[in-house]
Chains A and B, each alone.
Chain A
Amino acid sequence: MLKVIKDRMIMLVFVVFGVSLITFLISNVIPGDPARMIVGQRASQETYQSIREQLGLNDPLIIQYFNYVKGLFTGDLGTSIRTQQPVLEDILSYLPATLELIIIAFMIAIFFGMIIGVFTGIYNNTMIDYIGRIFSISGVSTPIFLSGLIVIIIFYGQLDWLPSSGRLDLTMARPPTVTGFYTVDSLMVGNLETFRNAVSHIFLPALILSYVLLSTVTRQVRSSMIDVLNKEYIRTANANGLSKWTVNVRYALRNSLIPTITVIGVSFGSLLGGAVVTEIVFNWPGMGKYVVDSIGSLDFPAIMGFTIVIAIGYVLINLIVDLLYIFLDPQIRE
């Protein structure tokens, strides 16, 4: 267990190093001059040069990279060109909104994905299975910007049940920051009105973001359930008179989860990518929106910082997946 954690931590260093190298090089080959973006087209040559000097753009590439990596180790991701704030500060202020969205979408996807997967697996090739399969195939094949717009048109445009953008109504005061998750923070101070408002805002984006992962989980759980239910130990369990619940959940589902968590770990990347699009569609003030704005203004330090944070998140999720394996599969543990 500790060895897995140690190995992954060592790997993390290499991943961060590799990701930083690649993003750094890309940001340098892409045409576009951050200094010119800052000073504007009509600034004098001196102002332009002094800004270039200030950003370190006149140093040789290798020195620039060395300085960047040196900064990384002290937690300095550079200064955003667009906001003039340290990138780390920017990211930390946008991170909770994104995390809240991702975590809720993740929970919806895992919970309902497993339930639908189990039922479509047990009732393989029946009406339940067909409906579940149509549902999950549309999930993996509908892009978020389309499904997002559809639910906005229905639930905001036509029915006016739910808001279409932001994390809270404009007139609503933010809850005091503890976790940065409005739903959790408002509950902590017992402010139910803010809580309801926060939930109504996060409901649609989280639902839309979860749909892709939900479908992936459904399909994976379904196929591993079918596989496991045909195993001989399931026949033994049935032959020994164990109840349907015990056989299907404690014997079959548990063993179906082993291949499923692999898929969940891998799909986490697509959830992060989906979060960016979801945040744009629902005007959600999170990291995704931040990075898209940064891309628009060639804010390389911000883009690189975002990429590195995402890479770290990805490695950590896969660490959790590896630890779950150890928990679920005694053959790995013993």
Chain B
Amino acid sequence: MLLQIEDLAVSFLSMYGKTDVLEDVSIDIDSGEVIGIVGESGSGKSVTALSILGLLDNNAQINKGHINYKGNDLLTLPPNKLQLLRGKEIGIVFQEPMSALNPTMKIGKQISNVIRKHRNVDKQTGKQLAIKALEDVQINNPQEVFHKYSFQLSGGMCQRVVIALAMSSPPELLIADEPTTALDVTVQAEILKLMKKLSDNHQTSIMLITHDLGVVANTCDRIYVMYGGKVVENGTTSEVLYHPQHPYTKGLIDSIPEGKSKNHPLKVLQGDSFNPGKRPQGCVFYDRCNIRSSKCLEEPPTIEVNAKHNVACWEAESIAIRE
């Protein structure tokens, strides 16, 4: 096991009080594995990712849990030790490539800064390695891009640069927080292919955070579906996508437009998206669930559908018992 998140619970503090954003989130990643974390805005995907590297804002408070990485708990690791892991062993790619790069520093300089930090090389070698890193992310004219600024590049190019930054050491784990959401559809596929290829070359595990089930289906070995700060269902990609158990996962799959008849209205999830300020008692999905019952007012247990598939739903339990 490379990284193991155990029962992580995070709240945000504000002048209005405390808002729980993550509750008992547990996620595992093996070496070389690609996992997907799927969920809508506010489901806690990004908070999970940021808490791994200790990048949460100051108003975030970790209530409980552990993040085990190679025998260390990242949550209790001293800041200077954690900083040594950042970028070197665990890289991260963010959603907005244009704003993720320093606008007043040349691309090459930003990459060589990171490379020199992690590999302890002199300026000249740093520059060569930076150009090599740009080549690795399939930028055609690395010499030229080295001397450019982020505002002179397209979104897709910027995301390649951000990936080059994250992969520069190369890391054991790459966290990709909606890496393709801000990009054109045509570019999305290229970026995903690139990440997959790099991770294969370097045996890097990927935690891919997205709200796009299509992306997950093509890329990931396993999926975690999150809703309202909880993992509601997880399992291998084929298990979760072809035999979804949780009503939320089913709703997500039903609302994909591809492959559906044009003559019928597309199914959508009813109700408003999750509001962490109004967390329902019991099951987080209670307000929007179409199969809810009185049992759901209590916290659902996590049920093992089979060895590769878990779900947190009372209905799924009764189905399992019936079968």
Contacts and interface: CB of A to CB of B under 8 A. Distances in A.
A328 B104 contact: yes
A246 B113 contact: yes
Contacts of B55: 235, 238-239
B53 interface: yes
Contacts of A237: 102
B130 to A, nearest CB: 13
A330 B104 contact: yes
Interface of B: 53, 55, 83-88, 91-92, 94, 96, 99-106, 113-114, 117-118, 149, 151-152, 162, 165-166, 168
Nearest to B86: A241
24 contacts: A232-B94, A232-B96, A232-B99, A233-B100, A233-B101, A233-B102, A233-B103, A235-B55, A235-B100, A236-B162, A238-B86, A239-B86, A239-B87, A239-B94, A239-B166, A240-B168, A241-B84, A241-B86, A241-B88, A242-B114, A255-B102, A330-B103, A331-B103, A334-B152
A251 interface: yes
Nearest to B83: A241
A55 B114 CA distance: 71
A118 B84 CA distance: 24
Contact of A240 (B86, B96, B99, B103): B86
Contacts of A254: 104-105
Consensus secondary structure, chain A interface:
helix
A330 B109 CA distance: 14
Q: Enumerate the 10 nearest inter-chain pairs by beta-carbon distance, A residue then B residue, closest first.
A: A241-B87, A240-B87, A241-B86, A232-B99, A236-B100, A233-B102, A240-B114, A239-B92, A330-B149, A232-B100
B105 A251 contact: yes
A328 B162 CA distance: 23
Interface in A223-276: 231-233, 235-243, 246, 250-251, 254-255, 258
A250 B106 CA distance: 12
A329 interface: yes
A322 B91 CA distance: 39
Contacts of B105: 250-251, 254
Given A239-B92, A241-B86, A331-B104, 12 more contacts: A232-B96, A235-B55, A238-B86, A239-B53, A240-B166, A240-B168, A242-B113, A242-B114, A242-B117, A246-B113, A250-B113, A329-B104
Contacts of B114: 240-242
A254 B113 CA distance: 15
A241 B79 CA distance: 11
A254 B105 CA distance: 10
B85 A241 contact: yes
Interface of A: 231-233, 235-243, 246, 250-251, 254-255, 258, 328-331, 334
A45 B106 CA distance: 76
A304 B149 CA distance: 48
Contacts of A331: 103-104, 149, 151
B85 A334 contact: no
A100 B87 CA distance: 48
Nearest to A237: B102
B156 to A, nearest CB: 17
A258 B104 CA distance: 10
Nearest to B99: A232
A258 B105 CA distance: 13
A239 B96 CA distance: 14
Contact of B102 (A243, A251, A328, A334): A251
A320 B157 CA distance: 35
B117 A241 contact: yes
Contacts of A240: 86-87, 91, 114, 117, 165-166, 168
* Centre residue among B91, B96, B113 by max chain A CB count within 10 A: B113
B99 A233 contact: yes
B94 A243 contact: no
A243 B114 CA distance: 10
A329 B102 CA distance: 11
B99 A241 contact: no
Given A241-B86, A330-B149, A236 B104 contact: no
Nearest to A232: B99
A12 to B, nearest CB: 29
B188 to A, nearest CB: 20
A282 B136 CA distance: 65
B86 A235 contact: no
Contacts of A246: 113, 117
A240 B163 CA distance: 11
Nearest to A330: B149
A231 B114 CA distance: 18
A303 to B, nearest CB: 44
B160 to A, nearest CB: 14
A231 B152 CA distance: 19
